[in-house]
Amino acid sequence: MLMLGLMCALPAISTDMYLPSLPDVARDLNTSATAAQLTMTAMLIGGAVGQLVIGPLSDRFGRRKPVLIGVVLHVITSLLCAIAPAIVPLIALRSVQGFFNASATVVAMAIIRDRFVGADASRLMSRLMLVIGVAPLFAPSLGGVIAGQWGWRSVFLALAVFGVVLWVVVWRRLPETLPPERRRQGGLRTALSGYRSLVTDRHFVALAILPGLGMAVLMSYVVASPFVLREGYGLSSTAFSLLFAVNGLGLVLGAQVNAALVRRVAPIRIVRVVLPVSLGLTGVLLALAITGWGGLIALLVVLWLILALVNFVPPNASALALSRHGEIAGTAAAVIGSMQAGVAGLVSPLSGLLGGDAVAMAAVMVGASVAALLVLALATPAYRRDGAWAV
């Protein structure tokens, strides 16, 4: 689980270590805050595309080869990011980095589905969130220290080193969980047929979208927080990293509560309770941002509660979606992961376009929460009398 968590955390670490450097990147490359934020968006979109490509490859060639090749290319791309001369090449390289990082994430999810289903899979995915959640606790502080000593480009050198360590661990410790007799034969036509069966399953599509909308809430905070907290409220880099770590603790605690709760409560029932609560909290956050009532403290308290609920939706929705198509777990995981990264990537820069302040950040969170609740209510039977279809 630790190894799978590190694999899943590769995109998060690549994001969080770089996050405190966004204002410095904008100044050093003589560009706007919105353009600097696009380096984050590009990585998410690259990850979405990468998962769609790598997922079927893992069903065809097994789990080990795609991740080993992908991590090597992550290392190479990180080194190229470190020498990027301008913002446009950096945006392009970050999209490529996201593409190759996707190999680690999609393979980790497929391995879980190879061995577990239902509540067991949901519980294990929540345990993964413990490892993934450590990234916000330490990565921004580490990235801030590295950038403060040697500049923001050195952060990418550190990401390359992490990639090398991860590759060695995977090479030595990752078992092959998809034996040859279970692999899907064929090329592009086989992959497309798998995607066709997935996108025509309305319930699968709805469940696959929910992690992306949940991630959109998180990424709206991640992308906007350096400008909201550092420039809007005047926090230092150290204070920002500390607050980011505290919020990361909320993510970890939420994931672990979900892992314990799913032993007694069906995943679909957890999702249908958490989404309305999340919508209410994001509405409160928007009201606080508009009125300024309670100042920074009130804003941070409500924000922590929102982030603590974020990890209740993706593990449960992902496990439910994967349980519907276990025979093509890699392809199904690719669709879920690509929607998660793609939706979050498309939504997260909206806060910058809307002004980049606390009101813009909260408004995007409200929009994502409304969309998630509508998807669950309209495209699944979660709120109907027969809503226990996935107990």
62 or 331: whose pLDDT is higher?
62
pLDDT digits (tens, 9 = 90+) for 212-239: 888 888 878 877 887 788 777 877 777 8
Tokens linked to 260: 């314990």
At residue 365, the pLDDT reads 93
360 or 348: whose pLDDT is higher?
360
What sections of 262-357 are H helices per DSSP?
A: 267-291, 295-310, 313-323, 329-347, 350-353
Tokens linked to 171: 């090479």
pLDDT digits (tens, 9 = 90+) for 30-44: 888 778 878 888 887
Ordered structural domains, the chain, with CATH: 1-176 (1.20.1250.20), 185-390 (1.20.1250.20)
**Does the pLDDT value for residue 103 go beyond 80?**
yes
Alpha carbon separation from 21 to 18, 39, 361, 386 (Å, rounded): 6, 11, 19, 49
Q: Burial code of 214-227, b = ≥16 C-beta within 10 A, e = fewer?
A: bbbbbbbbbbbbbb
At residue 305, the pLDDT reads 94
Predicted confidence band at 123 (pLDDT cuts at 50, 70, 90)? Answer: confident
Fill in the DSSP letter of residue 184.
P
At residue 390, the pLDDT reads 42
At residue 371, the pLDDT reads 93
What span, in angstroms and rounded, lies between the C-alpha atoms of 331 and 322? Answer: 10
pLDDT digits (tens, 9 = 90+) for 7-63: 888 888 888 788 778 888 888 898 887 788 788 888 878 888 888 888 888 887 888
